[in-house]
Structures are given as C-alpha cells and as structure tokens.
Amino acid sequence: MATMYPEYFPGEQNPENPEFEVYQTLRMLPDQYSVFYSKKFKGAKKGKEECEIDFILFDGKTLICLEVKGGQLEYNGSEDAWYQNGKHMDRNPDRQASIGNSAVIDYLRSEVSNVNVGWALCFPNCELPAHAAAPSSFPLDLVIDQKGLFDVQGGIERIASYYSEQHGRSGASASEKQRLVEKLTRGIGFVTSLGVRVARDYQHILEVTGEQFDVLGDLEINPRMIVKGYAGTGKTLIAQEFAKRLASRGKSILLLFFNRAVANTVRYGLGRDSTINCTTFHSLARQLISDAEPDWWKENSRKDDGFWNEEVPLKLMDVSLDSLSQYDAIIVDEGQDFKRDWFEFLEELLVDKAQSHFAVFYDEHQDIFNHWNDLPWGAAGVPRKVLTKNCRNTKSIVGYIKKAFPCDVVPFEDSPQGVEVVERIVSGKDAAKNQLVADIKSLLDNGIDPAEIIIIPNKPKPESCIADIDRVGKYKLEWMGRSFKPRSRGIRYAGISIFKGLEANVVMVVDLDDVGADEISRLLYVEGSRARTMLYVYRMELN
C-alpha cells in the first residue's frame, strides 16, 4: 500500500466526497508511492501567491500534481470554459493543476531536478465519452475518470510515461527522495500538535467491524446467546445497538450493567425518550425490593460488599414474581461481574423463557471482583460467539496490552497506528508524582484538553502518588464520581472499579509498585484498554 500523508483522511469519511473516494483509492497503490493530500503552497515566485494541490503522487521517478473535481464535468473548447453540473466554473481545473505544478517545482527546486514533474486531472463522478478527441489545451492521457479509478495504478503509470517521454529524466536518488519527502512534510504543515493527532486518531478509530455485524445478526435470530469479547471489541456498543433495535419494534428491554458509571453513561447516550430500562443489577434489585417491602432497605442496608453481593440477591428471591415487571429481552453487559445466581433470578423476569431474548456479553479476563463462574445455562446448546477485533484502541495500545497480557485480541486492520505507549520507570512515589505532573503539563501544552485525561490509581488516593496533587497548572485534579462527563473542566481520576467499561483518549496508570507481576499483567490489560489513543504507565524500577 502507498504511504499516505496524512496517514488517515483528515475530514469526514463520506463516500460521497470525491476527494475521500480518491484518497481511499490512491491508498491501494504499491508501496513505492508516497501520496500527499491537500497541499497548500504560499509565496511561490511563479504564478499565484497561494495555491492548493489536491494530491501529489511521487514514486521516485515521477511526481504528479493531481487535481480532483467531482460532479458532472464538461469542457467547452470554443469558450475555453469548464462547466460542473451545468454551472460555469470560475477556475479551470487544468489551469489550477498547471499553477500547482509550477508551485511544486519552484518550492522543491533541486529535489526534483532529476524527476519528471507534471499535472493530471481526476474526475471520479463521470467518464470520458468513447472515442473522444482531445482538446488543444490538454491531452486525454492526463485524465483519470470514473472508470479509470478501477485501475488507478494503470492510469498513474500512463501519466508517468507521458511525462517521462516529455522530460526524459532518470529519477531521484535515494537521498533526493528522502529530502523531497522531508521537505514536503516539513514545509507544508504536516507536523501537527499532539492534541490534533490524538483527535484525529480518535476520529478514525472505527466502531463497527464486520465481526460485530455478524454478532448482531446472530443475536436477532437466537433467543439465548453468549458473547465473549476481548477488551475494546465493542461489547457495549453491540449491546446498546441490539437493545435499540428491539426497542424500535415495541419490545420491552432491560439493559443491565454492573458498573453504575457505565450504566449512567449509556443511559445518557440513549436519550430521555428511550423506553429501554438501562440500569445496574444492584439498582434494579433495590427498586424491586423497595417496591415489595419499603422498610426493608432502611432496616438492613449496609455499604459492604457482602450486603450487596449476597444479602440483596437472596432477598430478591423472596420477592413475589407476580409483582415484577416482565421483559421481552434482557441484555447483560459486563457479565463477568455478575454472579451465577443473579442470572437465575433475571431469567424469571422474561415474558417467555423459551422465546424472549436473553443475551450476555462478558470478558472473564476483566473479572476484577472474582464473580465469574460461567452461566447457569452451561453448554445446553446456547450459541456462543467470540469477538477478537479491537476497534476502540490504536494499534500501538493493542500491541502493548497484548504483550503484557498474551491473548487472542487483535487490532482492527483500519484502526490508526497511534503514538507509542509511554512507560515511565520511576524510583519512588515522589518521582512518580513529579513525572506524572510533568507529563500532564506537556500534554496540556501540546493541545490535549484536560477533559480527555483520566488517571487510574491502584491505591486509595491518600496512599497514591497523586495524594497531594490538588491541581496541575490552572486545572483541578478531581474525582470522576459516578458518571463520566466528557466536558469536564478538570483533570479526573477514578479507580478501575469505577472506570472499567468506560474509555478516555488519554489514560495514565499509576501505583503499580505493590502489585505482583501476574496481577500487573492483568491490570495492564484491563486498565490499559481504557485508553483510546494515548496510554502512560508508571512503574517502579527494579532493585
């Protein structure tokens, strides 16, 4: 594949946009090609003071300035005028391309002294008529039309041959090639701030893969289904989409989570008008018990895990089934955090145990509460699917967590490579704090919004390296709370028990000094996969 600058299309990925269509097509050129998109030149000595070239293609021997025009094109030779969708064009495409061509030569100078440089036109939405005669202003060999995009390499080679015959140059040396690429990327503003890079990587992390569509199709036809998905493979996304599909058909839906912050975030995304009952298992239990015995909660409630995970489920068994709401579908995300008997209770809430939908999504590797013991359904013919393609994280982050915690997860092929994971080896708590603060300041200085940053400590705050950090610069350090607000004005921290199931552009994992090697491996899998585009890990140096 060609080397693309930038690596991903910087605008909306809209197939109706002719430049996006051409960008995606040029990406498939062989790897000897470098393709530069949307290059603007200022201060050229020849031609206009400023011009922009849609694409520059360079293979070492030939450099082509490609002008792209969408819509239905027409050239009127008697008027020397161009029309686009029947309307007169203020700027002729061939003249635009020629001006850009002159600007490139003027800018690159010695770097193209041995290169065949020329311009060409690309019309992705229309075709040249059969046996068309070339106008005097440009040869038809310099046009790639809609049909020509099916063999874009052949079209580019035809254009290259035209200019090779015209100029007869042998091509750039290896050092000249390198200088040319460096000059283009340096001089035309390809180097952007870290904040822009992170935003662009996030924009191009694809949320839906063919694997996920297959699972959605299977969920539609199977009343019971178990879906195992590795970190970042879209379990919550599929659960939401399946719930919305069923709700749109008038079905009553219970969408359950373990983590309150995840449930709150998903509920907010569904909107106020949604009919889906989106909640946590414990919130559902409290509501059902309080409806049946209003005084029980006041007399018995405690804050310890034993109360929530043992006493509350047992009390649920005493609630009369006749008083409970019934659902056409129950969808459980974070299934690894549910206990086996919880599923047995939920089954009683189905309208029809044989035909109503019951779907469970889980990842036993993220069972940080030690609740997982498979499902009561066992192997009784219930279909099971596995999601392996990570579509949440950059390839760099997937590679890092996979190295730390070997498993079958793989990055989605179209996900961005992203910046490398930053692993800091620190000598102690104070060194970790100082390095963390320095890194956050650097991120902020490079355009990262404070709301994009989440710190995940592996100790209570008073014992953590962030214990005495109240603010970084002008931004407060604050606890995330029970819901994730994407427009926060501060830098937030949250333990993994709160943040598991959520995600942020930048995640910083701290306080790994008292954690065993095996546990660190699993924590890096669970916590590291919360980072969409940038991951920082702070570890103590070995004695």
Residue 193 has pLDDT above 60, yes or no: no
Q: Which of 301, 236, 242, 244 is nearest to 274 (CA)?
A: 244
- The answer on 466 and 377 residing in a single domain is no
Q: Give the range among 123-137, 328-342, 368-382 with minimum mean pLDDT.
A: 368-382
Q: How far is CA 434 from CA 146, 257, 424, 479, 502, in A?
A: 57, 37, 11, 20, 27
- The answer on 439 and 350 residing in a single domain is no
pLDDT in tens, 86-122: 999 988 999 999 999 998 998 888 899 999 999 999 9
CA distance 306 to 310: 5
- The answer on 227 and 179 residing in a single domain is no
- The answer on 242 and 182 residing in a single domain is no
- The answer on 416 and 449 residing in a single domain is yes
pLDDT in tens, 230-273: 998 889 989 998 999 999 999 999 999 999 888 988 888 888 88
- The answer on 241 and 97 residing in a single domain is no
Pairing of strands 475-479, 491-493: parallel
The b/e string for 371-402 (b: 16+ C-beta within 10 A; e otherwise) is: bbeebebeeeeeeebebebbbbbbbbbbbbbb
Whether 163 is in a domain gets the answer yes
Q: Which spans in 204-234 are helix H?
A: 210-221
Whether 313 is in a domain gets the answer yes
- The answer on 514 and 442 residing in a single domain is yes
- The answer on 233 and 314 residing in a single domain is yes
pLDDT of residue 130: 77
What is the domain count for the chain? Answer: 3
Residue % of the chain over a pLDDT of 90: 48
pTM of the model: 0.61
Q: Give the range among 61-75, 176-190, 320-334 with minimum mean pLDDT.
A: 176-190
pLDDT of residue 25: 92
Range of the domain at 452: 399-540
- The answer on 94 and 139 residing in a single domain is yes
Residue % of the chain over a pLDDT of 70: 92
The CATH number for 355's domain is 3.40.50.300
Q: How confident is the model at residue 23 (pLDDT cuts 50, 70, 90)?
A: very high
- 207 or 438, greater pLDDT: 438
Whether 46 is in a domain gets the answer yes
Q: How confident is the model at residue 475 (pLDDT cuts 50, 70, 90)?
A: very high
pLDDT in tens, 484-524: 666 678 899 999 988 988 889 999 999 998 887 778 899 99
Question: What average pLDDT score do residues 36-61 get?
Answer: 78
- The answer on 406 and 384 residing in a single domain is no
Whether 200 is in a domain gets the answer no
Whether 215 is in a domain gets the answer no
Whether 264 is in a domain gets the answer yes
Residue 190 has pLDDT above 70, yes or no: no
Collapsed DSSP state (helix, strand, coil) of residue 173: coil
Q: Which two tokens stand for residue 105?
A: 């030569």
CA distance from start to end of the chain: 46
